[in-house]
Amino acid sequence: MLSDHGLGGYIATRLSCRGEDDPLAHARTVAAAIAPLLADPPDLLVVQGDTSSALGGALAAVEAGVPVAHVEAGLRSFDQSMPWPEEGNRIAIDAVASLLFAPTETSAANLRNEGLSGAVHVTGNSGIDALFAALAALPAPARARNRNGVPLILVTCHRRENWGLGLTTVALALIEIARSTHAKIDCVLHPNPLVRDSMRSLLDGEPGIRLVEPYDHGAMIAAMRDADLILSDSGGVQEEAPALGVPLLVLREKTERPEGVASGNMQLVGTNTERIVDAVSRLLADAGALAAMGRPALPFGDGHAGPRIATHMLDWIAATALIRTAVPDLTSPPSIDIGPAWLQGPFV
């Protein structure tokens, strides 16, 4: 995986922290695994995104007195349950970060409105950098879109808030779409056994629906590029689909990435079966509407977030070194609040 992104020559430490039902417990497990690596404190600990692993990294840094830099800071759905626990994770990480790398002006405004002490920089999202690098390495598309008049729909669904009933209603929608339209559906299974087994039990053997084993990054980008329409509850797909120029129906009621809606590349349809079927049928019947959603756009970055982030970090490290030389022990490490206020999600 590291070699896929030009990092094959760097040292990687496997933490071997298995996923847990309790995301806070997982974050603490990750923090404990990282702690020995901070015995010789680095200038910065960088965390990306809003997973429990990212929160664990921030916890470890705070405990060790190491400043935190947060890549993909400031995303907000303004609903602690959508997505849970990610909304709470990113709020907690942002609260203690010294450097806040916001992908968009909207996310930067969210951070400023919260009055955080960290320095806010709008950089774009490094995920778009990775997308462009993956595209450059791919062979030509294996198919033309809408080949022979048969559209291809790519589907992913895995978010915690969609476990159970949500997965069922999405699967029922896919069955109805496969039966009532001429589209072919590729449903990418998730590595999580609960999600994987649920979708397999609901969809295995259904005509017109192909269950696909999890892709690596490059193969997933190729599958998205070659699709006529994507249905997904993934945050990363919400960023990548507009850049690829592929229409996206988001299987969520709320999003922390409203820029994709504003650019016209994606629509929120939730997990209601009828609503999903209606949205897909309408787009497949209206070539103009599908084409309008498929105009490539870059609301989440231009592919140069990495160099911007690196420059800001180097500048911050240099400036901090000067301050520490002049005034030793000027600052104390921040504290991180992971109390029950944001943990009372629907799955606790």
Separation of CA 138 from chain center? 22
Q: Which of 28, 50, 239, 308 is catalytic?
A: 50
Q: Which of 28, 70, 121, 158 is catalytic?
A: 158
End-to-end CA distance of the chain: 33
Q: HSE on the CB side for 37, CA within 13 Å?
A: 16
Residue 5 is among the residues annotated as catalytic for this protein: no
Q: Which of 160, 225, 252, 257 is catalytic?
A: 160
Residue 182 is among the residues annotated as catalytic for this protein: no
Question: Residue 198 and residue 190: Cα distance in Å, rounded?
Answer: 10
The phi and psi torsions of 14 (rounded to 5 degrees) equal -80, 120
Q: Which of 70, 76, 90, 190 is catalytic?
A: 190
Residue 121 is among the residues annotated as catalytic for this protein: no
The phi and psi torsions of 86 (rounded to 5 degrees) equal -60, -40
Distances 191 to 104, 197, 216, 299 between C-alpha atoms, Å: 30, 10, 11, 29
Q: Which of 28, 70, 76, 86 is catalytic?
A: 86
The DSSP letter of residue 240 is H
Q: Which of 26, 28, 70, 72 is catalytic?
A: 72
Q: In terms of Cα–Cα distance, which of 94, 223, 233 is closest to 156?
A: 233
Return the SS3 of 159. Answer: coil
Residue 21 is among the residues annotated as catalytic for this protein: no
| Residues annotated catalytic, as ranges | 50, 72, 86, 158, 160, 190
